[in-house]
Amino acid sequence: MKHEGNALPPYLHMDNGELWLTEDDRDNLKISYRIKEVIFAEPSEYQHVMILDSYDFGRMLVLDGVVQTTSIDGHIYNEMISHVPLQFHPEAKRVLIIGGGDCGAARETAKYAHLEAIDMVEIDEKVVRACKEHLPAVSGNLSDPRVRFVYDDGVKFVQGKESVYDVIMIDSSDPVGPAEALFSPEFYANVHRALKADGLMVCQSQSPIFHLDILKRTYRNIRELFPHVLVYTAVVPTYPGGLWSFTIGSKRPLDFPVQTTIPNDTKYVNDGIFRQCFALPAFLRSALEVE
């Protein structure tokens, strides 16, 4: 296919007449995707935003050359960051999602009828608009009236808030650029303060294979604030290494429910996945010093 418009950004290149996206991870690993078509490509105030149609992964959201989510496996990440924590707080009414511009986590969270308000704070409005228009497999063109879109810096948004939310989901991109502050101890302290007395938070905590230092630091920072902390994993093929981690910090005991309330239209998460995702491999238990 042909790329229309100006010169290609450095992470898009032609090879024997085919368009390829090459993602550079830590200058040590390069992952290339054969691309059918550039659906959307525009710079925002914060980053370069693209929706690409790929051969193996379908449409994908790409920020500054890094794949964030795809049509073929985006549901895995979004279901895991939303349905898993909500099983531990069946009485939740107010949810805050920080990041998650692809709208996938908000879409999954909105499946719970008992939730009264879902605030989604995303710094880059262009990401949300691009995903709602061009990536419906992930966003579902979300239009639930309980979801309030706030285009603001999530770090600033939680500052000064106290006892407002039951559940806070931190759906951040990698800890570089605008997302770097979403991994800081100061930010987690503000999240802790913004939660009600029995509230809980969850964040994506990177690859246990390639980013173990970030996972360990995240786990340590959250343990300093919350009395109950659990790490769980899922396999997301798009992400480097495949294996991905999430960390829950909770003010309430993390008691496993006798019966889960996972919606029946999920593609990945079910009762069995929920109960086994907390079983960590030996190397990870050792690294986190889990007893």
Residues 56 and 113 in one domain: no
Residues 103 and 237 in one domain: yes
Tally the domains of the chain: 2
Q: Nearest 5°: CA angle at 186, between 180 and 188? A: 80
Average pLDDT along the chain: 93
Domain that holds residue 200: 74-289
Residues 172 and 208 in one domain: yes
Which pLDDT score is estimated for 3?
42
Residues 164 and 234 in one domain: yes
Annotated binding site: which residue ranges? 47, 102, 122, 153-154, 171-174, 178
Q: What is the mean pLDDT of residues 101-123?
A: 97
pTM here is 0.94
Residues 100 and 196 in one domain: yes
Give which of 157, 142, 85, 134 is closest to 110, Cα–Cα: 142
Residues 12 and 113 in one domain: no
Phi, psi of 143 (to 5 degrees): -145, 25
Residues 38 and 86 in one domain: no
Q: Which two tokens stand for residue 91?
A: 């009485």
Q: Which of 39, 70, 101 is the last residue of a domain?
A: 70
The answer to whether residue 4 scores a pLDDT higher than 50 is no
The answer to whether residue 68 scores a pLDDT higher than 60 is yes
Annotated binding site for S-methyl-5'-thioadenosine: which residue ranges? 47, 122, 153-154, 178
- Residue 119 a catalytic site member: no
Residues 152 and 256 in one domain: yes
Per residue in 216-236, pLDDT tens?
999 999 999 999 999 999 999
Q: Which of 70, 92, 121 is the last residue of a domain?
A: 70
Percent of all residues in the chain with a pLDDT value above 70, rounded to a whole number: 95
Rounded distance, CA 224 to CA 220, Å? 6
Residue 229: give its domain's CATH number: 3.40.50.150
Residues 102 and 195 in one domain: yes
Per residue in 116-136, pLDDT tens?
999 999 999 999 999 999 999
Residues 249 and 283 in one domain: yes
Residues 164 and 263 in one domain: yes
Beta strands, E only, the chain? 12-15, 18-25, 29-43, 48-54, 58-63, 66-70, 94-99, 117-121, 147-150, 165-171, 195-204, 228-235, 243-250
Residue tagged active-site, from 24, 27, 171, 255 = 171
Residue 34: give its domain's CATH number: 2.30.140.10
Give which of 21, 40, 85 is closest to 238, Cα–Cα: 21
Q: Which two tokens stand for residue 242?
A: 């495949």
Per residue in 265-282, pLDDT tens?
999 999 999 999 999 999
Q: What is the mean pLDDT of residues 207-221?
A: 94
Annotated binding site for spermidine: which residue ranges? 102, 171-174
Residues 58 and 118 in one domain: no
